Amino acid sequence: MPDNQPDNHADNRGETIGGVRRCLQMKFAMPSDPRYLAVVRGAIGPLAATIGWDESECRAITLALDEALANVIRHSYHNCADGLIELECCESADGLEITLLDKGDAPDRSKICAREIGCDQPGGLGTHIIKSVMDSVSYEESPEGNRFVARKLLRKTP
């Protein structure tokens, strides 16, 4: 939606001025090829910094998004580089919302955060990182494909 149009959902998307939405929104359509991960990492860090997170939190948010994308590449598309991943990062009134959509295999829910945290097993760290960094995470299957949504709240210091 152009930013000069009234937005009925303006109450949860960025700053509003007279009912007009003012928010930062970033969309990517990327092949499921790990070569493109660095491109997304290069964009999400500055976006998170602009919203208001510090350097350490920006690194953590970048890592969480990268882990989510890597999971799609590895588990939904089984490392085939010709799948499509649609990514949307949207500033909201209280932070950031990240949405990934893919048309690969649905995630195996039994393997999400199945690993014990802090143990010496090498696999399964990614979903723990995502859960630890983001405030809410959901995985759902929809007619459009597998949808991953993660939200992080910006906690303003008084």
Question: Which residues form the interface with another protein (CB under 8 A)?
Answer: 33-35, 37-38, 41, 55-56, 59-60, 62-63, 66-67, 70, 73-74, 117-118, 120-123, 125-126, 128-129, 132-133
Residues 154 and 23: their CA atoms lie apart, in Å, by: 14
CB of 57 to another protein, least distance (A): 10
Q: How many Å separate Cα 104 from the centre of its chain?
A: 17
For another protein, the closer of residues 1 and 153 by Cβ is 153
For another protein, the closer of residues 15 and 111 by Cβ is 111
| Residue partners of 110: CB distance under 8 A and separation at least 6 | none
For another protein, the closer of residues 23 and 37 by Cβ is 37
Local structure of 129: helix, strand or coil: helix
- Cβ-count burial 16-30 (b if 16+ within 10 Å, e if not): beeeebebeeeebeb
CB of 54 to another protein, least distance (A): 12
Instruction: Say how many residues make up the chain.
Output: 158
CB of 130 to another protein, least distance (A): 10
CB of 157 to another protein, least distance (A): 21
Q: Which two tokens stand for residue 26?
A: 């970033």
